Amino acid sequence: MKLITFERAGGTSYGAVKDDGVVDLGARLGRDAPTLLDLIGNELVNRARNIAGREKPDFALDSIRLDRPLPAPGKMLCVGVNYLDRNAEYRDGSEQPRYPSVFVRFPASFVAHGEALIRPPETKQFDYEGEIALVIGSRGRRIAREEALAHLFGYTMANEGTVREWTRHGKFNVTQGKNFDCSGSIGPCIVTADAMPAGPLRLKTRVNGEERQNDTTDRLLFPFDYLISYLSIFTTLEPGDVILTGTPNGAGARFDPPKWLVPGDVVEVEVEGIGVLSNPVADEA
């Protein structure tokens, strides 16, 4: 099931994508789950699936405006340097990491599918990072790896837009360069875990139609189940928390010369089973 949050006729709701339309779940489940985050937290996905299966779409996809799937998510935990060969891109002679590199992003740093990624005036090194994101479905602390995927609600995509100069302001952190308002994007939907294809997922990123990133999740240094288990050691994972699982080789900084994003560019992130997340680039007004 593909789930979206959307705006229509001056209001916000959420629903399931069916054919070329949307079954409005917010209108039917609003008392028990006013938002998609509530649906996840209140474990109402089976009711939603039954409704989406029997009801006809309420309106066409082209009649709505997509919002971020979770406008007010929980924690947003990001993993860096998580694909084979990615560490070598840094050319610092270091060995492959033993544990994940982790930082956080704030919800305000992301826009929805179709909205502009905003390049702030503080940078000339605005970059893209296509990623697969995990949405947690049930609470857990110190989750055993063999039980980790049972805590997974679904998958979405992200473009971890990065202001490269600001990732080097501090010696040990990248938080500043990862959190400029509206610098990244997430969406367009959340696909429930049961609806995803089996086997490795292929992730691609294109800029103006040129393929820049292309890799599969069987090349992750730290697979999804490990990440859920590892992160839950130091923080309780809650329904609606989002884990961004890292970007493959091919970010703009790794070209010689670098290929930075400029206004007018269009960045597309594609993952089989989820779809395409597309955003233009614009300068901050």
Report the number of distinct structural domains present in the chain: 2
Question: Which of 47, 66, 85 delimits the end of a domain?
Answer: 66
Per-residue model confidence (pLDDT) at position 267 = 98
Question: Which of 66, 94, 117 delimits the end of a domain?
Answer: 66
Tens digits of residue pLDDT in 9-29: 999 999 999 999 999 999 999
Secondary structure of residue 187 in the 3-state scheme: strand
In this structure, the answer to whether residues 112 and 239 fall within a common structural domain is yes
In this structure, the answer to whether residues 19 and 126 fall within a common structural domain is no
Q: Where do the H-state alpha helices sit in the chain?
A: 25-29, 36-41, 45-54, 224-234
In this structure, the answer to whether residues 224 and 259 fall within a common structural domain is yes
According to DSSP, residue 20 is labeled T
Per-residue model confidence (pLDDT) at position 134 = 98
- Closest Cα partner for 228 from 83, 41, 100? 100
Task: Give the C-alpha separation, 279 to 113, whole Å.
Answer: 6
Q: Does residue 166 surpass a pLDDT of 60?
A: yes
pLDDT band at residue 88 using 50, 70 and 90 as cut-offs:
low
Indicate the pairing of strand 110-111 with strand 184-192: parallel
* 71 found inside a domain: no
Per-residue model confidence (pLDDT) at position 284 = 97
Tens digits of residue pLDDT in 183-211: 999 999 999 999 999 989 999 999 999 99
Task: Give the C-alpha separation, 128 to 239, whole Å.
Answer: 27
Can you tell me the mean pLDDT for 148-156? 98
In this structure, the answer to whether residues 226 and 274 fall within a common structural domain is yes
List residues bridging with 192 in a β-sheet. Answer: 154
In this structure, the answer to whether residues 31 and 137 fall within a common structural domain is no
Q: Does residue 281 surpass a pLDDT of 60?
A: yes
pLDDT band at residue 180 using 50, 70 and 90 as cut-offs:
very high
Task: Give the C-alpha separation, 53 to 78, whole Å.
Answer: 34
In this structure, the answer to whether residues 135 and 265 fall within a common structural domain is yes
- Closest Cα partner for 160 from 177, 181, 185, 182? 185
Whole-angstrom CA distances from 56 to 1, 17, 25, 91, 192 are 14, 10, 12, 54, 20
User: What range defines the domain where residue 156 resides?
Assistant: 76-283
CB atoms closer than 10 angstroms to residue 108 = 11
* 53 found inside a domain: yes
Task: Give the C-alpha separation, 202 to 270, whole Å.
Answer: 8
172's tokens: 């040990």
In this structure, the answer to whether residues 53 and 89 fall within a common structural domain is no
DSSP 213-272: EEEEGGGBSS-HHHHHHHHHHHS-B-TT-EEE----S--GGGSSS-----TT-EEEEEET
Question: Which of 18, 47, 66 delimits the end of a domain?
Answer: 66
In this structure, the answer to whether residues 226 and 139 fall within a common structural domain is yes
List residues bridging with 102 in a β-sheet. Answer: 79
Can you tell me the mean pLDDT for 160-170? 93
Tell me phi and psi for residue 155, to 5 degrees: -130, 145
Task: Give the C-alpha separation, 244 to 227, whole Å.
Answer: 10
In this structure, the answer to whether residues 152 and 44 fall within a common structural domain is no
Q: Does residue 87 surpass a pLDDT of 60?
A: no
Q: Is the peptide bond before 197 cis (omega within 30 degrees of 0)?
A: no
